[in-house]
Amino acid sequence: MHVSALLTLLPFISLAYASPLTERSEAFDVSKHLGNLSPYFSAPAPSGGVQNDLPGDCKVDQVILMHRHGARFPLSSELVFIQNLAAKLVNSTDAIQKAKLPGNLQFLKEGYKSTLGHDNLTAIGRAELFDHGAQFKLKYPDLVPTSVLAGLQDRVIESAQWFANGYFGRDWAALNATMFQTIPEDNVTISWITPMGTCRNWQYAYGNNATIAWGAHYLPPITKRLNKLLPAVNLTTDNVHGALYACAYDGAAYGLDKSPWCSAFTPSEIEDFEYELDLLMDGAFGYNLPGDMGPVLGSVYVNTLLDRLTNETGTAEEVYLEFGHDTTIDLALVGLGLVEDIPGLSTSSRKSGRKFRTSLQVPFGAQMVWERFSCEKTLVGRQVRLVLNDAVVPLVGCASGKEKMYGSCEVGEFVKSQSKARGIKWGDATWNATCGDAGF
């Protein structure tokens, strides 16, 4: 098996999960419950009999990809929690050696050291993107891209390059100079990859305290439980937060089977961490932004998408290969009116049946793919559908008849269903009322 393929498969290995409360081995796939820090996995097929595969008489004539960067090391702001935890454990070596620990914490007696870097792609992240590039070429072999576009950030650029190497192979060395493009991620460039950059008021909303409130809810009980096992260590809630980050990021760097901290928590505690990450993303890049800010920001992507699908300018390409962030995809979904919870996510209790779920939406290496296609008999008119992480996301408000079986809509009807986003332009009255007056 190719090394990159093996690395990509590692995160899918379900851990034999030993609950710290019961010491029973239970099937719990941690990899599917780490929010936007989850390794890439294919989302489950939609309910209601929606088909993932298109009928044999249908042919895709345009494909639009927005790809999140691959697995990375923690951000500097996250790494400090892991480093502080590791330092405290080193300073508590004698107490840990004397403690009577359950099997899932025995690794502490050998010492826990963090060798994680920060911000950059990991080996697993590079492998994810290379394999996705090869798979994308195999899925759409007859469509020809003319460019590759990446947001101007190191891990995004590197992700795009690894994807391109998987897609084009050795030809990429020659094509790179003419095909590879970047778009700035700043506060002066109007971009569907980072639309929040040009929204002045977004920076005030970004500090949403929803995640802090939930952290105050679930971290203290975990800290109390672990301190009963390690009384002389005196873990803080920040240390426990660091242990949860260590679970996710040791997994992102080396594979979840090499991440000892994941089995230190119960499934419910991991799900609380997942919910914290959902609240963070929803509060900063989703429906819990103030007013209509989420849909307004998402409209930048939606309008770009509609322009391409309809080809009103006559310049649309048949393949778009673009690379951004989890935030790019989250805001796009919000702009489209998808994954909305009514009522919205709450900090008072974890909503188990929520639609806004970052583990499914934006794991590392997430792929948002739009397919435009036509069928000889099965469906009437040129159709469009959304495939998110290998699973169809049924479009709402525009499907009829057989279209519902494939989650698609006729392109014209889809455009009509997006009238709210279509009615927003960067710098117009709606944008300015939400973001503050446009202008650099």
Indicate whether 25 pLDDT > 80. Answer: no
- Which pTM was predicted? 0.92
Which of 18-22, 51-55, 299-303 is the least confident region? 18-22
| Cα diameter, the chain | 73
Query: DSSP assignment of 360-419, as one string?
Result: HH--TT-EEEEEEEEESSSS-S-EEEEEETTEEE---SS--TTHHHHT-EEHHHHHHHTH
Instruction: Give the structural domain span for 122.
Output: 3-41+56-435
The number of distinct structural domains making up the chain is 1
Pairing mode, if any, of strands 383-388 and 391-393? antiparallel
Residue 206's pLDDT band, with cuts at 50, 70 and 90, is: confident
Cα–Cα–Cα angle for 363, 365, 366, rounded to 5 degrees = 60
Confidence tier at 18 by pLDDT (50, 70, 90):
very low
Query: Cis bond leading into 343, ω under 30°?
Result: yes
Beta bridge partners of 387: 369, 392
Is 440 inside a domain boundary? Answer: no
Residue 172 lies in a domain: yes
CA–chain centroid gap for 70, Å, is 10
Q: What is the DSSP string of 165-219?
A: HHHHGGGHHHHHHHHEEEE--SSSS--SSSGGGG-TTHHHHTT--HHHHHHHHHH
- Domain for residue 339, yes or no? yes
Is residue 37 a part of any domain in this protein? yes
38-42, 59-63, 396-400: segment of lowest average pLDDT: 396-400
Question: pLDDT, tens digit, for every residue of 346-363?
Answer: 999 999 899 999 999 999
- φ, ψ at 310 (rounded to 5°): -90, -20
Is beta strand 383-388 parallel, antiparallel or unpaired with respect to 148-151?
unpaired
Q: In the 8-state DSSP scheme, what is residue 103?
A: G
In a domain, 51, yes or no: no
What percent of the chain clears pLDDT 70, i.e. is strictly above it?
92
Residue 224 belongs to some domain of the structure: yes
Round the average pLDDT of the chain to a whole number and report it: 92
Confidence of residue 46 (pLDDT cuts 50, 70, 90): confident
How far apart, in whole angstroms, are the C-alpha atoms of residue 34 and residue 251?
Answer: 10
How much of the chain, in percent, has pLDDT values that exceed 90? Answer: 87
Decide if 139 is inside a domain: yes
Give CA 155 to chain center in angstroms.
Answer: 14
First-last CA distance in the chain: 52
Higher pLDDT, 204 or 192: 192
Check which CATH number belongs to the domain holding 316 and give it: 3.40.50.1240
Is 47 a domain residue?
no
Lookup: tokens for 188: 């002066």
| Contacts with 201 (C-beta within 8 Å, 6 or more apart), sequence order | 293, 434, 435, 436
